[in-house]
Amino acid sequence: MPRRLSDELNELKIYDSLSGSEIVLYYRTPTTQETVRYNNELVTRKRNKLVTRFGETRQKYGAAILEGFREGDFEKKADGEYVPIASDPESEHFDPNWKELVQSKAPDLVGLLGRCVFESAAEDEHEREESEESEDAEQD
């Protein structure tokens, strides 16, 4: 399947071990400037030391590109019961604070989105061959 160069949202399917289910996050394609800034912020220099900022950077940029999630993938507690929330303004379950809720209550998923999109969206042919060879060796 060819890569689509458009403004349509992308989706990342994640197996969430906490809920035991698949969660789908919708995100926009990062801009060139965001990609450059992301890579520059992963490691910074403080005097004579290199400081890694993987967690902060993944959170910051994962949140920046997060545009929504599949309805039914998240619930929040309201009046003592769990109720579904939605990121789609057209849904009856729409919560205008959905993004803040996901960032504060599921930061692992936001960070994973940042890592997957900014760090591993593609691999070169050499990496792919090594990965396939490693998988073949594990199966033997």
pLDDT band at 16 (very low <50, low <70, confident <90, very high): very high
Q: What mean pLDDT value characterizes the chain? A: 90
Q: List, for residues 59-92, the tens digit of each pLDDT value.
A: 999 999 999 999 999 999 999 999 999 999 999 9
The DSSP element (H or E) to which 58 belongs, if any, is: helix 54-65
> CA 64, 16, 10: angle at the middle one, nearest 5?
40
Coil, strand or helix: which one is 55?
helix
Sign of the CA dihedral with 84 first, then 109, 57, and 114 last: negative
CB 73 within 8 A of CB 81: no
Pairwise CA distance, residues 12 & 35, whole Å: 18
Counting Cβ atoms within 10 Å, is residue 78 exposed (0-12), middle (13-18) or buried (19+)?
A: exposed
CB 28 within 8 A of CB 65: yes
Mean pLDDT of the region 27-36: 96
Q: What's the residue count for the chain? A: 140
The pLDDT value given to residue 113: 97
Instruction: Look at residue 123 and tell me whether its pLDDT is greater than 80.
Output: no
- Phi, psi angles (nearest 5°) of residue 27: -145, 155
Mean pLDDT of the region 6-10: 92
pTM value is: 0.83
Distances (CA, A) of 103 to 63, 68, 122: 7, 12, 25
